[in-house]
Amino acid sequence: MNVLKRSGEEVVFDSAKIKNAILKANQATEKNQLTEQQISNITESVVKQCKDINRAVGVEEIQDMVEKAIMAEGNYDVAKNYITYRYERALVRQANTTDKKILSLLGRNNEEAKQENSNKNPVVNSTQRDYMAGEVSKDITQRFLLPSHIWEAHEKGIIHFHDADYFAQPMYNCCLINLEDMLQNGTVISGTKIDSPHSFVTACNIATQIIAQVASNQYGGQSITLSHLAPFVDVSRKKFRNDVARELTEAGLDATVEIVNQIAEERVKAEITKGVQTIQYQIITLMTTNGQAPFVTVYMYLDEVEEGQTREDLALIIEETLKQRIKGVKNEKGVFITPAFPKLIYTLDEDNVEEGSKYYYLTELAAKCTAKRLVPDYISAKIMKEYKGDVYPCMGCRSFLTPDRFTDAGIGNIAEAENYVAGQHKYYGRFNQGVVTLNLVDIACSSNKDINKFWKIFDERLDLCHEALMIRHNRLKGTPSDVAPILWQNGAIARLEKGEVIDPLLFNGYSTISLGYGGLCECVRYMTGQSHTSPEGMEFGLKVMQYMNDACAKWKADSNIDFSVYGTPMESTTYKFAKCLQDRFGIIEGVTDKNYITNSYHIHVTEEIDAFDKLTIEAKFQKLSPGGAISYVEVPNMQNNIKAVLALMKHIYNSIMYAELNTKSDFCQVCGFDGEITIEEDKNGKLIWKCPNCGNTDESKMNVARRTCGYIGTQYWNQGRTQEIKERVLHL
């Protein structure tokens, strides 16, 4: 059993420290002291509570337990002295809230930092630098930028104010890069003018440079579409035809159109291979200023380009992208493994979903890729057109823009994009302002199952979230374009003038701002006693979802800002919320008895349910999560059952907007085992990863890839998320 110190360092639990703290409070009490037996009883009680929690317990949690246990003995004088001692120590710590955390980061023993982001290596200098800056930002945010009641609600896990480690700077969350504008009309990178590329490979190379620059000027994910690269294939093709004709003529050979085109086409295919390889390897080897590879999604949708040569070229790029991802990338031992990025999304549509359709061969290839490498994920063009009227990718892993309403309103080209077409809906170049997440489980538990009280508390928490979201919005207002030229001046988001503020892009639906939520499953279970897969549970769950949508609609009408309900991809927050719930309400079976709460509207990971039924049921909730959400099904190794993968893909097309298949893709560097590395408990009750073949538990000598929150994580997870991964049941 371990203890998580305030600095983030995890140490072995020592009951003697609890006893000593009680003794000091007892000695400071002149009358009515505790007996030795009472002190032992209190210590044993606290130790038992810590063991029952079955995770590393925070120092503050232990102190709360001690405080309650002393009062349970009826000795309020000792309790008063203990509380006074805690308060005095808190004042000392508040003199500087960041030093110890920064020192523990530098000492590489901050367990919270190690497990905060499953795609950041907390040992390397660049990540440590980002985390150190983040600690300063959080300190400034806590003390100066947020009202105390907002920060207190955040600390208690009532809400979560996301990305406080970046909030000191005027930065937004995630975006869809307007790569088309930047490639077709030129851009500027680090003060250097970049003209429109004259080949597909050059376009791919410039794209990766843009991706790295964008990642360093925001804190969330970004998406590009392959359709913006497709026109440059024909640029290369025409160049190759000229080159081949000249070479054949100079060699005295017959340069017929047929021969020239045949040779040129072979060079085009080689060029596509090289360009796709450039994107894959540069993205995973680039290191941005926030200490990780760019969190980038690559979108594959054939109907984004017109029929004809460009669409055929896009099909070639998609085919090569899938083939290279199936192959994987080499780890340090030279073995091909599954990379975390770029994430891939493949759109299912009429021309590729049915066997015999024109591009069905790409869908078959996508199925093979998913079975081996976890991606691509799938968007149903059919369902998305029904929900949103248009088809476009999410920003990063799951955050979706609202449908374009500024074009329909005739507001015009407020971003000054050079590829703007009047009357044509616009999605690329748009962004999300930020997220504040609501803990639905806390609302339920706070109501004590009183339905009237539940809705009253819900209203109070929604008001709290709205206040926090407006703080995020107002933090961006007045931001000059000069703070991030790649975004605001050189085309990724806009082409504003130097010194011009970004304010017009914060209204009229150009950007979105997200009301996140988590724990619908446990909320419904507490209030109804049932899963939200049951008729009664589903009815209540859908009411909860609609209630949040109604609030967002009202806020939007009042402010002309596009608020949207967002199924938060909680990684470390799932653990934080669970700990706070246990602290506030104790252990409630089926509600707070795990070290995690369920992501967004998802069915609980332990609930036995068929894959097709799961997607069908979750589709009802996903429709009410328009700001972003993704559903998944957990599957075994499917590499020898591609027909089943294709059947699931067709079901996704017909039933749900956005979904994925979770499989396993691991490698042990010690023994060469290529299969599923398992999760087990060590002697202190901590969950660890262990090779089932050789018993290796050294995380630095294994490659583990797991779907975490819509994206693949490869740097391990906190104990709450690890327990959630361990307890997932198969749906197929």
The residues carrying an active-site annotation are 173-174, 395, 397, 399, 432, 566, 571, 710
The DSSP secondary structure of 185-244, one letter per residue, reads H-EEETTEEEPPPSSHHHHHHHHHHHHHHHHTT-SS-EEEEGGGTTHHHHHHHHHHHHHH
The crossing angle, in degrees rounded to 10, of helices 440-447 and 572-585 is 10
Look-up of token digits 């003060």 = 191
| Contacts by residues 672-677 (CB-CB < 8 Å, ≥ 24 positions apart) | 672/335, 674/335, 677/702, 677/704
Q: What is the 3-state secondary structure (H, E, C) of 385-398?
A: HHHHCCCCCCECCC
Contact 599, 571 (CB under 8 A): no
Contact 285, 214 (CB under 8 A): no
Contact 573, 518 (CB under 8 A): yes
Sheet (strand 10-12) strand order:
10-12, 2-4, 57-58
The percent of the chain in helix, strand and coil, each rounded to the nearest 5, is 50, 15, 40
Token reading at 10: 């995890």
The DSSP secondary structure of 558-587, one letter per residue, reads HHS-EEEEEE---SHHHHHHHHHHHHHH--
Q: How far apart are CA 484 and CA 213, in angstroms?
A: 9
| Residue 252 buriedness (CB in 10 A; 0-12 / 13-18 / 19+) | exposed
Return the closest-CA partner of residue 184 out of 206, 156, 157, 211: 206
Q: Where are the alpha helices (DSSP H) in 57-147?
A: 59-72, 76-94, 99-106, 111-114, 125-140
Contact 686, 114 (CB under 8 A): no
105 Cβ partners below 8 Å, 6+ apart? 8, 113, 122, 128, 131, 132, 135
Contact 317, 273 (CB under 8 A): no
Sequence length of the chain is: 732
Q: How far apart are CA 480 and CA 488, in angstroms?
A: 9
The DSSP secondary structure of 623-645, one letter per residue, reads TT-TTB--EEEE----TT-HHHH
